[in-house]
Structure 1
């Protein structure tokens, strides 16, 4: 009995491992095609928007999808090593919390005196490829949720629409405050030519 369970667990582990390896092989093929990936993502978003418009429902799913996309965008433009933007207001008075995170470098160290003119862009919290991957998964998941009638909760969509833009405004304000506090801009991520 115990041996059969171990064999079954081992078989499940091998199948899961094989699926992960095959998935990684397939996804690694697309890493070089940045524009094509984002165009494909845009087409999936348009397909989702058409489905929502066609069936006339699932506004809660769409709202959650849009909030998730907003969070992905904020993570994409936040430098690595800083506290998350959403924790900024909650922990503002706690000096111990602020000391736990590294600050952005303002000067080069003595080791890099030879490379004074070298420009190094900031590293992102979420890489472009991971942001694309999460965005594709979220739009596919949202699209699949539209086939489950349980998720079609009746709601007056103009309220959700207005509430979403209030959240966008508050998030942008919080993000600008975060950028001023830690001294970075969105342009710091781009390469100088």
Structure 2
């Protein structure tokens, strides 16, 4: 008996795109441990995007949209996965404070877990900058706007959003960044 032929021409296309998807995923998996190099590459790509916008004197809507999207990603990156304010509301019903470090032996310690992990943050950031860079080469995205207004809007949005986020961090006593593993002075035997 002969092997069945693909039902549609889309089956061959789907098989080919899934092959490229597996190759892309393999490269992503290989890049996972190289955090600094990944972010340096993203920074270089962002620098090229900024230079493109500066020299072309246009595509300000693309840059503004990218700025808002990157701000949204950053907020998800520094926000806890489990909102302490919701946990505190639940904890008040149970009679315990919740949302802070344990003060008694029977309380559970919960480490800071990000809403958006670092690798996904990097991947979404790099992909967004690459899409923005590509969009900056098409005239259809070059809408005439008065760019200083966009800069002021973005700065106001950034300052209000970060002020609210910092107040949330202070209220629920969490710090989303760690410098590294704690090192203690002692004998080096």
Same fold per superposition (TM over 0.5): yes
CA contact (8 A) 2:73 2:121 kept: yes
Distance 1:47 1:187 in 2: 28
SS in 2 for 1:186: coil
Query: Across the two proteins, how many residue pairs are aligned to each other?
Result: 171
CA contact (8 A) 1:58 1:146 kept: yes
CA contact (8 A) 1:123 1:189 kept: no
Distance 1:69 1:192 in 2: 30
Question: Which moved further from structure 2: 7-16 or 25-34?
Answer: 7-16
State the structure with more CA Rg.
2
Q: Does 1:178 align with 2:164?
A: no
Matches within 5 A, 1:87-126: 104=99, 106-107=101-102, 121-126=111-116
Match of 2:144 in 1: 154
Q: Once superposed, what is the RMSD of the aligned Cα atoms?
A: 3.1
Gapped regions of structure 1 (runs ≥ 5)? 89-94
TM-score of the two chains, using structure 2 as the length reference: 0.77
CA contact (8 A) 1:121 1:190 kept: no
Match of 2:94 in 1: none
CA contact (8 A) 2:66 2:132 kept: yes
Distance 1:188 1:34 in 2: 15
Matches within 5 A, 1:124-135: 124-135=114-125
1:30-75 CA-to-partner distances (Å, cap 9, x unmatched) read: 1111111111111111111111111100001001111111111111
Match of 1:91 in 2: none
